[in-house]
Structure 1
Amino acid sequence: MKKIYLMMGITAFMSCTSIGEDKEIPLEKSSPLLGTWKLVSGTTIKDKDTVTTDYTKNQEMIKIFNESHFSFLRHDLNHGKDSTNTIYVAGGGRYTYKENEYTEYLDYFNIREWENNQFNFEFEISGDTLITRGIEEVKELKVNHINIETLIRVKK
């Protein structure tokens, strides 16, 4: 009898592999955003002002999506040694998606005033490139601009 329970326990344990170990979720059954993306450029448009940032120079940012959450991390490439250009940004939270639209619910951010806001984006994936476009509005900070980001999928 002990052998039967032991075998049942082993079978149950072995069938509970977690996503990300050695198992990949087929994209057609999961979020098309799933994975790690490196930010290449970002454009903000406010009124008649347009600012484009090249995220491949002196800094790096990645954005990670799993089935239910996203996170982003950005830092300078000087490892904080240049005090005039030290950058560290981190945030994340839940997200939902439908077809070519997704909504970020920003639960965590090192700039706390941005927390507890939601941001709606349209997205397009072409090959290994993700382009997002949406309005970021944080009334308390008087932030209201269009945000366009171009990201490249990070390969394993």
Structure 2
Amino acid sequence: MIYKNTRLLILTFVLAGCAKPEKPTSIVGTWELVSATSIEKGKSESTFDPKRKMIKIINDTHFAFLNHAIGAASDSAAAPFSAGGGKYTLDGNVYTEHLDYFTDKQWEGNTFEFTVHFLNDTLIQRGVEKVEKLNVDHVIIEKYIRVNQ
């Protein structure tokens, strides 16, 4: 009996070792923004607006974000909908977004590199947003919580 169990255990380890290595999937999922900070010229300020809701959806190759006002339809004219997305790469904890689509076309075609960390169901990303033609150059720190499905 012990011999049979040992063979089964060895077979399990051999099969697990033959599995194709996969791209890290910890970032894959749907994330809701819960905190956002911008640091420009040494000054830190919260850019999180609790009257808006933003989610980021990440699959194996692409990301997309959707942002809109919370509340009645009559409130939405004052705070328009925005969305964007594109391809991304993840190398260790370096997450790089290639923004191919965005509501404001002047942001399109830019690449943004972030360092990402995970703490339980929280994704924290920190990096520089720089768009020369818009005179944008600041550090952003965003915290997202995984949306349970």
- TM-score, normalised on structure 1? 0.77
| Pairing partner for 1:139 from 120, 126, 132 | 132
Question: What is the percentage of aligned positions where both structures have the same residue?
Answer: 45
Alignment CA distance shift 1:127-1:88 (3 Å): same
Does structure 1 residue 153 correspond to structure 2 residue 146? Answer: yes
| Pairing partner for 1:130 from 98, 101, 123 | 123
Distance 1:109 1:45 in 2: 22
Question: Which consecutive residues of structure 2, in runs of 5 or more, have no partner in the other structure?
Answer: 1-21
Judge conservation of contact 1:36–1:64 (CA < 8 Å) in 2. Answer: yes
User: Given residue 129 of structure 1, which amino acid in structure 2 is its aligned partner?
Assistant: T
Distance 1:134 1:31 in 2: 21
Distance 1:52 1:81 in 2: 26
Question: Hey, what does 2:32 align to over in structure 1?
Answer: 38
Question: Hey, what does 2:103 align to over in structure 1?
Answer: 110
Distance 2:25 2:121 in 1: 15
Judge conservation of contact 2:40–2:137 (CA < 8 Å) in 1. Answer: yes
Shift of 1:84: 6.7
- RMSD, matched Cα: 1.5
Query: How many residues are aligned here?
Result: 128
Distance 1:155 1:83 in 2: 26
- Secondary structure at the residue paired with 1:81? helix
Judge conservation of contact 1:80–1:86 (CA < 8 Å) in 2. Answer: no
Judge conservation of contact 1:101–1:123 (CA < 8 Å) in 2. Answer: yes
Distance 1:61 1:52 in 2: 15
Judge conservation of contact 2:56–2:66 (CA < 8 Å) in 1. Answer: yes
Alignment CA distance shift 1:88-1:73 (3 Å): same
Distance 1:112 1:136 in 2: 15
User: Given residue 64 of structure 1, which amino acid in structure 2 is its aligned partner?
Assistant: I
Shift of 1:74: 0.4
Deviation larger for 140-149 or 71-80: 71-80
Question: Hey, what does 1:93 align to over in structure 2?
Answer: 86
User: Given residue 96 of structure 2, which amino acid in structure 1 is its aligned partner?
Assistant: T
Judge conservation of contact 2:37–2:48 (CA < 8 Å) in 1. Answer: no
Query: Equivalences for 1:64-103 in 2 at 5 Å?
Result: 64-82=57-75, 85-103=78-96
- TM-score, normalised on structure 2? 0.80
